């Protein structure tokens, strides 16, 4: 049995395409190359923030050509709401020590920055060699805390986005592209 690309029957049924599969793929390859060069000789642990970041991570690591490791954290800040509450809880923690290691946090999207600020402060107590941030999307119009993002895929407008890992009430993470939904379209 052969698997080919999935064609969504009606990809525009919900929202408008903001970033196509090809645009995302090209940018992920660029980020992977930069990360490979920047960390050559001392590969980092990529700390992925579930669940939204998992699609990005899966593609990003295959664009990196140095022997990195990966680990996962799951935190919750949104529940099923579409706005950040600023409340962060650790649902799942890392499975390995990061002491003395370079850490690269991989996120799907940064909004207010509260989630990331919390994660950085938490990881700093474990004495890593360094912590840097890689996010596919930067919705910087919503930022409430000061953050230095080291690797950014795309800066996106202050609109609700779904697909490529990003959800609407836990659905649409499997869209291969990223679409924008207007407020009145949110069920």
Give me the active site residues, please. Answer: 111
- 138 binds ligand PRP, rule: CB under 6 A: no
DSSP the chain: --------S-TTSSSEEEE-HHHHHHHHHHHHHHHHHHTTTSPPEEEEEETTTHHHHHHHHTT--S--EEEEEEEES-TT-SS--S--EEEE--SS--TTSEEEEEEEEESSSHHHHHHHHHHHTT--SEEEEEEEEE-GGG--S----SEEEEE--SSEEEBTTB-BTTB-TT-SSEEEE-GGG--
For ligand PRP, which is the closer residue by CB, 10 or 148? 148
109 binds ligand PRP (CB under 6 A): yes
* The one segment of 14-22, 50-58, 92-100, 123-131 that binds ligand PRP by CB under 6 A: 50-58
Residue nearer to ligand PRP on the CB measure, 64 or 133: 133
Query: From the CB of 85, what's the least distance to ligand PRP, in Å?
Result: 9
**Residue of the chain from 32, 44, 113, 128 that contacts ligand PRP (CB under 6 A):** 113
Both tokens of 98, joined, read 């990061």
Name the residue nearer to ligand PRP (CB basis): 22 or 82. Answer: 82
Residue 177 CA to residue 84 CA, distance in Å, equals 23
106, 114, 151, 177: which one binds ligand PRP (CB under 6 A): 114
47's tokens: 């700390």
Stretch that binds ligand PRP, among 13-21, 94-102, 106-114, 122-130 (CB under 6 A): 106-114
Decide if residue 49 touches ligand PRP (CB under 6 A). yes
**Smaller CB distance to ligand PRP: residue 45 or 149?**
149
Q: Judged by CB under 6 A, how many residues of this single chain contact ligand PRP?
A: 20
Calpha distance 49→92 (Å, rounded): 10
Name the site residues for ligand PRP (rule: CB under 6 A). Answer: 49-53, 76-78, 84, 107-116, 167
């Amino acid at each position: 049995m052969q698997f080919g690309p999935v064609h969504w029957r009606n990809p525009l049924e919900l929202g408008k395409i903001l970033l196509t599969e090809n645009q995302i793929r090209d940018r992920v390859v660029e980020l992977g190359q930069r990360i490979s060069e920047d960390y050559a000789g001392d590969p980092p642990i990529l700390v992925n923030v579930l669940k939204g970041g998992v699609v990005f991570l899966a593609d990003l690591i295959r664009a990196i050509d140095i022997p990195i490791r990966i680990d996962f954290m799951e935190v919750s800040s949104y529940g099923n709401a579409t706005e950040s509450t600023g409340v962060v809880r650790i649902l799942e923690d890392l499975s390995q020590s990061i002491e003395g290691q370079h850490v690269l946090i991989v996120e799907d999207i940064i909004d207010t920055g509260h989630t990331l600020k919390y994660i950085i402060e938490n990881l700093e107590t474990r004495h890593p060699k360094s912590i840097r941030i890689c996010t596919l999307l930067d919705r910087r119009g919503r930022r409430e805390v000061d953050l230095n993002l080291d690797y950014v895929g795309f800066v996106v407008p202050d609109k609700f986005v779904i697909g490529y890992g990003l959800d609407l009430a836990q659905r649409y993470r499997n869209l291969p592209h990223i679409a924008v939904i207007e407020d009145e379209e949110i069920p």
